[in-house]
């Protein structure tokens, strides 16, 4: 009797996810491979007494650090408020300084005002233009930011859109892929130049232009 050889067809193993060409070319990042599986339960160990004592010390020190941080932040509030008054006085006297050394009874710290400002609400631009007058364009810079549309990244036809974007980007195609946003940010030396205005204007402008918190080092 003739034997018939039956070959079992092996299922192809799924290929590992490779870097997405769009992200590699445009953003320089790889698409992370999703990981599935259960989480292991955490095991509790009981080490020798010497290690257990050190564990207690670590926990105690962490508590002390938290309490010390809270105390430091409380003390900083009054020092920073006092320093803002001093910095304003120097600024209006045309002697603006971004940093100062502050002498304590035993120690010394350095006060540093931040160069960072948050984006200005577009609804507040009219008020700032009125307050800053002819110096508005010198004090506030207008920037245009362009963002890739969500549909290009995660939409149902994202692969096709990404391929098209990489192959050809023309001026007429920008609305298809991007959205534009105009943002207003303080220009360089904004905090120094602001003191050329009256105290009333400075206080008004500060309501709309938010500067990052100063620090003590």
| pTM for the model | 0.57
Q: How many domains does the chain have?
A: 2
For 155, residues 6+ apart whose C-beta sits below 8 A from its C-beta are: 149, 161
Sign, CA dihedral 85-88-93-94, equals positive
Helix axes 125-132, 199-206, angle to 10 degrees: 160
Q: Is the pLDDT of residue 21 over 80?
A: no
| Tokens 């994202």, residue located | 158
Domain limits at 144?
122-211
Give the Å distances, CA to CA, from 35 to 20, 28, 32, 39, 117.
17, 21, 9, 11, 39
On whether both 154 and 198 belong to a single domain, the answer is: yes
Q: What is the mean pLDDT of the chain?
A: 79
Total residue count of the chain as it appears in this document: 217
pLDDT: is 24 or 32 the higher one? 24
On whether both 93 and 172 belong to a single domain, the answer is: no
On whether both 177 and 100 belong to a single domain, the answer is: no
Residue 18 lies in a domain: no
Two structure tokens written together for 217:
């080092």
pLDDT band at 12 (very low <50, low <70, confident <90, very high): very low
Give per-residue pLDDT as tens, 57-74: 898 898 998 888 888 888
Q: Is the pLDDT of residue 88 over 90?
A: yes
The region of weakest confidence among 3-7, 152-156, 168-172 is 3-7
Give per-residue pLDDT as tens, 118-141: 888 888 999 999 999 999 988 898
On whether both 84 and 127 belong to a single domain, the answer is: no
Mean of the pLDDT values across residues 94-113? 90
Q: Residue 38's pLDDT is what? A: 56
Q: Residue 20's pLDDT is what? A: 52
How far is residue 146's CA from residue 164's CA, in Å, rounded to a whole number?
18
pLDDT: is 32 or 121 the higher one? 121
Residue 30 lies in a domain: no
Sign, CA dihedral 27-30-35-39, equals negative
Distance in angstroms between the alpha carbons of the first and the last residue of the chain? 93
Residue 38 lies in a domain: no
Q: Is the pLDDT of residue 199 over 70?
A: yes
On whether both 135 and 194 belong to a single domain, the answer is: yes
On whether both 59 and 79 belong to a single domain, the answer is: yes
Q: Residue 142's pLDDT is what? A: 85
Mean of the pLDDT values across residues 89-116? 90
The region of weakest confidence among 1-10, 67-76, 111-120, 166-175 is 1-10
Beta strands in 48-191 (DSSP E): 99-103, 108-112, 140-148, 178-186
How far is residue 109's CA from residue 191's CA, in Å, rounded to a whole number?
22
Residue 155 lies in a domain: yes
Mean of the pLDDT values across residues 8-29? 46
Three-state SS string across 73-106, please? HHHHHHHHHHHHHHHHHHHHCCCCCCEEEEECCC
């Amino acid at each position: 009797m003739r034997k018939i050889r039956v070959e079992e067809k092996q299922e192809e193993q799924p290929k590992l996810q490779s870097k997405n060409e769009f992200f590699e070319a445009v953003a320089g990042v790889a698409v992370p491979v999703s990981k599935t599986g259960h989480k292991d339960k955490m095991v509790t160990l009981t080490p020798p007494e010497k290690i257990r004592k050190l564990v207690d010390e670590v926990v105690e020190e962490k508590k002390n650090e938290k309490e010390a941080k809270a105390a430091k932040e409380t003390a900083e509030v009054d020092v920073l408020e006092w320093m803002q008054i001093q910095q304003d006085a120097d600024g209006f006297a045309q002697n603006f300084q971004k940093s100062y050394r502050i002498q304590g009874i035993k120690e010394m710290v350095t006060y540093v005002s931040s160069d960072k400002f948050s984006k200005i609400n577009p609804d507040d631009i009219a008020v700032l233009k009125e307050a800053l007058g002819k110096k508005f364009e010198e004090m506030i810079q207008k920037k245009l930011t362009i963002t890739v549309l969500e549909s290009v990244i995660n939409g149902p036809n994202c692969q096709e859109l990404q391929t098209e974007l990489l192959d050809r980007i023309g001026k007429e195609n920008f609305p298809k892929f991007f959205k534009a946003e105009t943002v207003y940010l303080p220009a360089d030396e904004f905090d120094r130049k602001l003191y050329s205005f009256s105290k009333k204007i400075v206080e008004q402008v500060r309501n709309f232009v938010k500067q990052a918190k100063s620090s003590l080092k």
